[in-house]
Amino acid sequence: MKKIAFASILALGLAAPATAQDWDAVEIKPIKVRDNLYMMTGQGGNLGVSIGEDGVFLIDDQYAPLTEKILAAIKTLSSDEIQFVFNTHYHGDHTGGNENLGNKGIDIVAHDNVYKRLKDSGTTKEGLPVISFNDQLTFHLNGMDISARHYKSAHTDGDSIVYFQGANVIHMGDTFFNEAYPYVDVDGGGSWKGLLLVVKSTLNQINDDTKIIPGHGPLTDKAGLQIYHDVLMDIDSILRPIAERGLSLDEAKSLNPLEKYDGDYGNGFMDPDTFISIVYQNIKDNL
Ligand SMILES: [Zn+2]
């Protein structure tokens, strides 16, 4: 029976990642960033984990079926309780575990717009932030200041970048797709121009020793963010003049203007066609 059901789901083209087999195969891997600070990969957005005398501070929580695996992975680092989970933005690959964690009494914290979007999408009370903020928020935990700064309209309208002050580590959420084309969620309040501003602003606030956890892609540093910045700026300088000439999206695509980047950057969440469609249209709409 199971096999037939699975096959018919595939036949309908509805093979979402939500099959038991897929979740079973996911491995949550901690990667040490500094003493007591880790990035963890699994399926979905990269997690950030701070451990120490005050307990565990977790950034993002991937998908609901992975919660127990994530908790088990954290237990290998610390036997302490999770004090807070911080959502960098509302997307399901970063907030899918919220309800499970909220049910365990863990406090969820995020920007006001994350709260609004999760609430509007029908997330239950347990999965919603109990604390939300409008601009900047600082946690005084584990011997350091952990500051979340909101940037309006970048990947979404609720993005936060988290600075682990003193450790010189930042988590950029999905304002940074390392080694891939970024996703600008225009319907979720994001904008291409705002994304460029966040990347530029962040570069100005870090130094060569800063470690950067991106929302997706491998752990990196300022040099990695500089490359991402330069690629995005170059893409802007290629697409903007075409938009200013008034070409339609199809006409712009026919020029194949991002060909030099498609091979290296078009294999992530954004394929080349979807990426140029979103970004070109957003540039045109905001000329
Ligand atoms: Zn996202």
pLDDT digits (tens, 9 = 90+) for 147-163: 999 998 999 999 999 99
User: From ligand 1's centre to the CA of 89, what distance in Å?
Assistant: 7
Judge whether residue 18 has pLDDT over 90. no
In SS3 terms, the chain reads as CHHHHHHHHHHCCCCCCCCHHHHHHCCCEEEEEECCEEEEECCCCCEEEECCCCCEEEECCCCHHHHHHHHHHHHCCCCCCEEEEECCCCCHHHHCCHHHHHHCCCEEEEEHHHHHHHHHCCCCHHHCCCEEECCEEEEEECCEEEEEEECCCCCCCCCEEEEECCCCEEECHHHCECCCCCCCCCCCCCCHHHHHHHHHHHHHHCCCCCEEECCECCCEEHHHHHHHHHHHHHHHHHHHHHHHCCCCHHHHHHCCCCHHHHHHHCCCCCCHHHHHHHHHHHHHHCC
Percent of the chain with pLDDT over 90: 92
User: From ligand 1's centre to the CA of 5, what distance in Å?
Assistant: 31
Confidence of residue 10 (pLDDT cuts 50, 70, 90): very low
Question: Mean pLDDT, to the nearest integer, of 115-136?
Answer: 97
Judge whether residue 264 has pLDDT over 50. yes
Per-residue pLDDT tens digits for 29-56? 999 999 999 999 999 999 999 999 999 9
Judge whether residue 114 has pLDDT over 90. yes
User: From ligand 1's centre to the CA of 182, what distance in Å?
Assistant: 9
Q: Which residues surround ligand 1, an ion (CB under 5 A)?
A: 91, 174
User: From ligand 1's centre to the CA of 1, what distance in Å?
Assistant: 36
Per-residue pLDDT tens digits for 183-223? 999 999 999 999 999 999 999 999 999 999 999 999 999 99
User: From ligand 1's centre to the CA of 95, what distance in Å?
Assistant: 10
Judge whether residue 116 has pLDDT over 60. yes
Mean pLDDT of the chain: 93
